[in-house]
Amino acid sequence: MTALSAFVVPVVTLGMLWVVPTGLALVDGPRPPGWDLLRRAWPLLALPGAVSLWLPRSGTATALAACYALATLALALQAPARLALTLRRPPDGGPRPAPGAGEVAVLTALVSPAVAGAALVAERAAYPLFGFERDLLALTVPHFHFAGFAAALVAGLLCRTSAGSALARAAALSVPAGTLLVLAGYFVNDWTELAGAVVLTAGMAAVAVLTLRERRGLAADTATRALLGVSALVLAATMALALWWALGEATGLPHPTLTWMAATHGLGNALGFAVCALLAHRRLRRTGLPAATTAPVPPAAAPTPAAAAAAASRTELPA
């Protein structure tokens, strides 16, 4: 196992077996056919992919990675099905609702593991997919589990708990946009990747601010407040490293190596941000706060005349 793999493999294993199923459990809203089964079975479906990480590159490792890639494809197919349910015309014949920014972030989270799954199959087969080196393919796998899935999902969660504020909408849109720009930079040039890093960093900065607000306004117990605080503060360091690396790649200025980035930016985002944020949101949900319900909520029906008259005649005791 190389020095790079020593950091990447445990982090990706955690992402497959814990981060993705924990995040899926926090998603509410439209449930396409097969959603509940896929969510409950995810740890079992992810197990072949996790095992493939610890094996030498071989046909067996590639086959196990392919099993995981199929699971990520099934998850990605939930995104258009969920979008169709979100856009479905209301029974009263009203206008079709438009997906909000939080829903865009959730849809991005559902699709992202499929990119990681394809990269994993190529890396395990030692195949230069689209001409990319094995190290870059290996780093694509954690990137789309944590930046693609976890960060986008947390942005969607914050958009819900922040009641769709302007900053929350900006975070929910810029995190997916930055992630996609970074992916486009793989195919275009380093400057595009730098632009993606800038957009993603701006989105994650908004996530950090929203998380600190959530810590102050919603978290009642010490453990949840600590988890939210760590997840927000870690982003300041890890995203600064991401900008440094992308700037160095684009301009030729000195910048960290991939192994150093995996040991700092990668571990920090995985353990300090993603794990802490998901644990905190799971604790918040258990206290009765809303989960990532990002589909539009229909307005409440007006009370009937009889119900209004009954309410007016009711006498309330003072509290």
Structure confidence by residue, pLDDT tens digits, 248-286 = 999 999 999 888 998 899 999 999 999 999 999 999 888
SS3 267: helix
Round to whole Å and give the CA distance between 175 and 201: 8
pLDDT, position 246: 93
Can you give the pLDDT at residue 313?
42
Strand, helix or coil for residue 100: coil
Query: How much is the pLDDT for 115?
Result: 95
Among candidate residues 10, 268, 257, 265, the one with its CA nearest the CA of residue 135: 257
CB 148 within 8 A of CB 109: yes
Nearest partner of 168 among 216, 224, 103, judged by Cα = 103
Decide: residue 35, CB within 10 A, 0-12 exposed, 13-18 middle, 19+ buried: middle
Higher-confidence residue of 8 and 312: namely 8
- pLDDT one-digit tens code per residue, 165-175: 899 999 999 99
Q: What SS3 state is found at 292?
A: strand
The whole-number pLDDT of residue 106 equals: 95
Q: Which residue has 């020593």 as its token pair?
A: 6
Residue 294 has pLDDT above 50, yes or no: no
pLDDT value at position 29? 85
Contact 83, 107 (CB under 8 A): yes
Q: What is the mean pLDDT of residues 108-131?
A: 94
Continuous segment of H or E residues that includes residue 53: helix 35-54
Q: Would you say 51 and 65 are in contact if contact means Cβ atoms under 8 Å apart?
A: no
DSSP classification of residue 116: H
Choose between 296 and 92: higher pLDDT. Answer: 92
pLDDT at res. 94: 62
Task: Please report which confidence band the pLDDT of residue 5 belongs to, taking 50, 70 and 90 as the band edges.
Answer: confident
**Rg for the chain, CA atoms, rounded:** 21
DSSP string, 96-113: PPPP-HHHHHHHHHHHHH
Please tell me the predicted confidence (pLDDT) of residue 164: 67
Task: Check pLDDT > 90 for residue 66.
Answer: yes
Q: Does residue 219 surpass a pLDDT of 80?
A: no
What confidence tier does 300 reach under pLDDT thresholds 50, 70, 90? very low
The answer to pTM > 0.75 is yes
pLDDT tens track for 177-211: 999 999 898 888 899 999 999 999 999 999 999 99
Is residue 220 very low, low, confident or very high in pLDDT (cuts 50, 70, 90)? confident
110 or 4, which is more confident: 110
